[in-house]
Amino acid sequence: MSILVTGGAGFIGSNFVLEWLATHNEPLVNIDKLTYAGNRENLISVQGDPRYRFVRGDVADRDLVARLLLEHQPRAVVHFAAESHVDRSIVGPDAFMQTNVIGTFGLLESVRVYWEGLNHDRRNGFRFLHVSTDEVFGSLNEGDPAFDEESPYRPNSPYAASKAASDHLVRAYNHTYGLPTLTSNCSNNYGPYQFPEKLIPLVLHRAVHGQHIPVYGDGRQVRDWLHVSDHCAALRRMLEAGEPGAVYAVGGSAERTNLEVVEALCELLGEARPGPNYHSLVHMVKDRPGHDRRYAIDARRAMNSLGWAPQETFSSGLRKTMQWYLDNEEWVSRVTTGAYRDWIDRQYHASAG
């Protein structure tokens, strides 16, 4: 028995792979295209593990995926592979449609053919776990109830629209073909190995180098923060106990404004590396187009039916995350290439308020 993971060299995927191999003896095959946010260095600690195999490839390559499925006979596919940065989707949406929509469709077709060829018991035990986002539900106003599994889809960015389309494809393959699917709509993840274009590692990277910390608009956009290890634990429970066809909203019950997150990081950095006035580096910039105001997740279904709950508070998770980035500055230095610096300069300097 084995599982096949797509996008396992990215942020959430690499954390899932590392935690899986630390807690399971079951082999794992990881297929990743290695775009800018995919990094094999994340998985250097398991490269010699006989239970682990890495394959560089695209989930839209049906021949490659079909060969891997037949060779390894996985009992589950966990689908992380996606373009995931809203800002990049606004500037260049094509890649998001290709990876998130066409890629997911190609993967579903390959998996469907494989699954239909399994015997009765293995068909019943098989799972296709699709990792999605709360952004497909759009934006909440202050005081609105949190998103849950029944929330209507109202995507507001090209990224969110591409993930919404992939969610609908997964649902359709369950309803039409009977493929045993599971979907996770998660809130904002944070933790080790996150590419420093996202808020928390971006703040840390710029603060320790004494650079301005860009904050969009008034900084009062609200997100529900979920430590990546808690999300990975929920995904493992979904594989173990999830009902085929079910959707699970997974969140950390930790709503914070972006400015609150930035200020908390400045406080923690001041304790860990006293001296600079990190708060003085905060720099408000012009808001991005169509910026969603608030996300929040009601995770009661996942908690009640899966017996799962977040183990990290936002305070404990943020402190651990900050320490990881301070302890791994060489990793950060290697992933923040010239191309990364050019992107940051274009994205924030051009929109400075």
Enumerate the active-site residues: 134-135, 159
Say if CB 45 and CB 97 are below 8 A apart: no
Say if CB 180 and CB 128 are below 8 A apart: yes
Across 96-155, where does the E strand assignment appear?
127-133
> Which residue type sits at 52?
Y
Sheet hosting strand 222-227, strand order edge to edge: 188-190, 222-227, 255-257
Do the bridges between strand 255-257 and strand 222-227 make them parallel or antiparallel, or are there none, so unpaired?
Answer: antiparallel
β-pair partners for 333: none
Say if CB 291 and CB 216 are below 8 A apart: yes
Let me know the angle formed at the C-alpha of 158 by 153 and 162, rounded to the nearest 5 degrees: 60
Say if CB 41 and CB 88 are below 8 A apart: no
- Helix, strand, coil percent values for the chain (each to nearest 5): 50, 15, 35
Give the ranges where 144-246 is alpha helix by DSSP (H).
Answer: 158-177, 199-208, 228-241
Provide the 3-class DSSP secondary structure of residue 225: strand
